[in-house]
Amino acid sequence: MYYFSGTGNTKWVADRFKENFALDNINIDLVNIESVEDNKLKKYDFFIIGSPVYAEFPPKIVTDFLNKFDDSKKKVKIIVYSTQAASSSSAPCFMAKCLRKKGYLPLIQISIKMPNNYYFFVGKKPDKNEIKELLLKANKKVKDVVKNFINEEPVIETASFIRIQFNKMIYNIFKSRIPKLSKNISSTKECGKCGLCLRNCPQGNITFEEGRAIFHSKCILCLKCIYICPINAVRYKGKKIEQTQKDIIRVLDLNR
């Protein structure tokens, strides 16, 4: 399984896949795509790809990874899933299409609704009960699709052509606004320079200057820095953000 996860949701789901496949004595190796240097894949029986959704599509770090994915000569089966705040997105269709072109066979293509980590920009802040309920439902969905996969029953969630085309427009607008949006991230003078954000930024976008964390121009808006800061000193538009992902982000294998 290859995954990217900014604030833990996609990794949380990855762990559920691993757990549920283990019940059938199938071992899943979890690989964070940030740690993949070349895309020479080992020989596996099947692959799982997991991604969060940023403006309806996977972030660039995931699409770059998929574009470099080795071709498959033998129609190796794949599972693709996205996690997002809404019930669905165009991301699984996009990921499956990309891998189908390379000779893979998408057997499971699904969206999994998870807590909204960008509620301070769009949508509603998830409360504790809602988060609990979302995790229960996500777990059930993973359990069900693992059974489907083992029984070779396809589960393909699609999005209409019009939705995908419209969302492409939204994504392109979002992409062009990332540099501006990422300027909204800053740290306060309370920053203890512990280095956790610096060591775990997927873009290597953070340095320490003048006694605090400074965010440069390579940000992809994954929001990891906001949610992992142990003293909640990373601001968005100067505002303190309630760290609603605090429990979930613990599932990431962080560089301590």
CA 105/CA 74 separation, integer angstroms: 9
> Which one among 117, 182, 200, 205 touches ligand FMN, defined by CB under 6 A?
117
Terminal Cα-to-Cα distance of the chain (whole angstroms): 23
Tokens of 97: 């299409």
Find out whether 96 and 106 touch, Cβ atoms under 8 Å.
yes
- Cβ of residue 57: shortest distance to ligand FMN, in angstroms? 8
Q: Is the CB of residue 255 less than 8 Å from the CB of residue 14? A: no
One character per residue 50-69, x = contact with ligand FMN (rule: CB under 6 A) = --xxxxx-------------
Neighbours of 110 (CB within 10 A): 20
Residue 90 interacts with ligand FMN (CB under 6 A): yes or no: no
21 contacts ligand FMN (rule: CB under 6 A): no
Q: What is the DSSP letter of 151?
A: T
> Does 83 participate in binding ligand FMN (rule CB under 6 A)?
yes
4 versus 149: smaller Cβ distance to ligand FMN: 4
One character per residue 210-249, x = contact with ligand FMN (rule: CB under 6 A): -----------xxx--------------------------
Annotate 66-92 with b (16+ C-beta within 10 A) or e (fewer): beebeebeeebbbbbbbbbbeebbbbb
Query: Does residue 84 belong to the site contacting ligand FMN (CB under 6 A)?
Result: yes
Judged by beta carbon, residue 213 or residue 248, the one nearer ligand FMN is 248
- The answer to the question of residue 116 lying near ligand FMN (CB under 6 A) is yes
Q: Are the beta carbons of 69 and 115 closer than 8 angstroms? A: no
The residues that touch ligand FMN, with contacts defined as CB under 6 A, are: 5-10, 52-56, 83-86, 89, 114-118, 221-223
